[in-house]
Amino acid sequence: MWGRTRTDLPFDQDQSTRFLPWIVALMVLLAALAAAAALIVQRAADTWDNGLSGRMTVQIPAEDSDVAAAQSAAILTMLRATPGVISAEPLAAAAVAALLEPWLGDAAGDTDLPVPLLIDVELTPGARLDSTTLATRLSEVASGVAIDDHRVWLSGLIDLARIVELAALLVVVLIGFSAVATVIFATRSGFAVHYDIIELLHFMGARDSYVAAQFQGQAMRQGLRGGLLGAITAAALLALIGFFARDIQAAFIPPLNLDPRQWGILAIVPISAVVIAMGTARLTVLRALARMP
């Protein structure tokens, strides 16, 4: 049946735009990897922010165990009465010994060691407890008491993670701009190659939208081809990275595998590539046609 499978313009004979699917594939691959990096870093930052920043540790020097125990009880009472504190629990000696074991070995369980008493404090999510003021108050009960507020050092790490996340998103945006520029170049090239036929269609009464639709359709086919190739490659790479990273147990290193929600977000990348290619091709052709009488 005429016209159902063939376009008016012989795009399949067009050497100048044959490279486009490969470039789209590469851009989709790079954009998907950058977006995946942004998602992984974002998840890590959220985890650190929501997890560790909701806790603090209070240390009571253990110069005299009886005195320390009494001070511990008083400090626990004070902490539990402090607004923003959900719970305050002393760490058992065995738990403290387990924390020290990597550095001290079997000696960590030695009861003669002057190990400070530790109190694990859980804070209300979002609570902004002033650790300096709290430390001053606690010092009135036990001199030398120290508060380890993870937020102090964690905030720097989270800021760094946010910057990395923004940088990755910036890369995605820049790749998008590059895709637009590439499609403009390819479309203009195709327009010049097929100018005689375009002019003929124009003088025969074809509307601009009819001619633009031909380029838009071609951009869609090429974008789909490239987008699919790029997406499959990116998915394979990310799955491979997730597979090899599954057993990494290092503290603070976020899991490198993606969850279903993140895969869903990444699926937007090739779809966006197709939409960008179609829209750019259409606008480029409409602008070029506007210069014709």
Partner 1 sequence: MLRFENVGMRYGMGPEVLRDLNFTLEPGSFHFLTGASGAGKTTLLKLMYLAHRPSRGLVHVFGRDISVTPRADLPPLRRRIGVVYQDFRLIEHLTAVENVALPLRFAGADRDETEAHVRELLTWVGLADHLDARPSTLSGGQQQRVAIARAVINRPSLLLADEPTGNVDDDIAVRLMYLFEQLNRMGTTVLIASHNEALIGRFPYPILRLEDGELQVVGSRRGAAE
Instruction: Rank residues 271 and 286 by Cβ distance to partner 1 and give the closer one.
Output: 286
Stretch that binds partner 1, among 162-170, 172-180, 181-189, 195-203 (CB under 8 A): 195-203
Site string for partner 1, 92-111 (x = CB under 8 A): --------------------
- Kindly state whether residue 195 participates in binding partner 1, applying the rule CB under 8 A: no
Under the criterion CB under 8 A, does residue 290 sit at the interface with partner 1? Answer: yes
Q: Cβ(258)–Cβ(36) under 8 Å?
A: yes
Strand 146-149: give its sheet, edge to edge.
Answer: 85-90, 117-123, 55-60, 146-149
C-alpha 281, offset from chain centre: 30
Map residue 90 onto helix, strand or coil.
Answer: strand
The residue from 70, 113, 163, 200 that contacts partner 1 (CB under 8 A) is: 200
Q: Is 213 in the site for partner 1 (CB under 8 A)?
A: no
Site string for partner 1, 3-42 (x = CB under 8 A): xx-x-x-x--x-----------------------------
Would strands 55-60 and 117-123 be described as parallel, antiparallel, or unpaired? antiparallel
Count of residues that interact with partner 1, criterion CB under 8 A:
20
- Name the residue with tokens 């008491």: 145
Give the DSSP H/E element, type plus range, for residue 88. Answer: strand 85-90
User: Whole-angstrom Cα distance, residue 271 to residue 32?
Assistant: 11
The Cα–Cα gap between 107 and 100 comes to 9
Of the two residues 143 and 209, which places its CB atom closer to partner 1 in the complex? 209
Query: Which residues sit at the interface with partner 1, rule CB under 8 A?
Result: 1-4, 6, 8, 10, 13, 196-197, 200-201, 203-207, 210, 290, 293
